[in-house]
Amino acid sequence: MTLIKKKTWGRTVYQCSCCGRTYDEAPLTFGSDRPDYYHSVPPDERPQRISLAESLCVVDEQHFFHCGRLTIPIIDHHQNLIFNVWTSISEDNFRKRNQLWNNPERVNEGPYFGWMQTTVPTYGNTINIKAVATENEVGLIPSIQVIEEEHPLAIDQQNGIIFEKALQIAGSILANEHPREDGSK
Ligand SMILES: [Zn+2]
């Protein structure tokens, strides 16, 4: 599956190869709204055991997670491929981040080590690979850099990718979300 760049009435659109839906801009931002570990807790126990905020999550008051932005540069396009992902974070660093939440000086802290807690589609296994989170200015989530050696995600983050590859990744993610004609997903 991919997104096909084509011209319609003189304007560029992107067409999903699974269903023909078209987009004026290539959808290049994806993500998860909770860490993978969340799903290991049975649904009926989640209200007691999990605290979940927009970009923070704590399980059993001993497993700490935060959400950041993983950017894969696209070399030949004006936008990048972006995944909002979760990583673990130590309790000490979690508390530090919260204390400095609204402090502009927080950009001088970190980076904070963690283990990836989000599957990034088309990159094989990305759960529990090494990553670091770098604090951004107040109001923005941290930047996530994968540091797992030789991992394809780390390599693409370092080197960047071409737009055609980004369209393939986006197309395969969208194909999973789009309903098929037979009603299955
Ligand atoms: Zn589609």
CA–CA dist 84, 65 (Å, integer): 13
Nearest CA among 89, 45, 46 for reference residue 67:
89
pTM for this prediction: 0.92
| Rounded distance from Cα 26 to ligand 1 centre (Å) | 13
Alpha helix locations (H) across 67-162?
A: 91-99, 152-159
Ligand 1 centroid to Cα of residue 181, in Å, is 10
Instruction: Tell me how far the alpha carbon of residue 22 lies from the centroid of ligand 1, in angstroms.
Output: 9
Could you report the per-residue pLDDT of 4-42, keeping only the tens digit for each?
Answer: 999 988 999 999 999 999 999 999 999 999 999 999 999
Tens digits of per-residue pLDDT, 99-132? 999 999 999 998 999 999 999 999 999 999 999 9
80 CA to centre of ligand 1 in angstroms: 21
Whole-number Å distance, alpha carbon 121 to ligand 1 midpoint, is 16
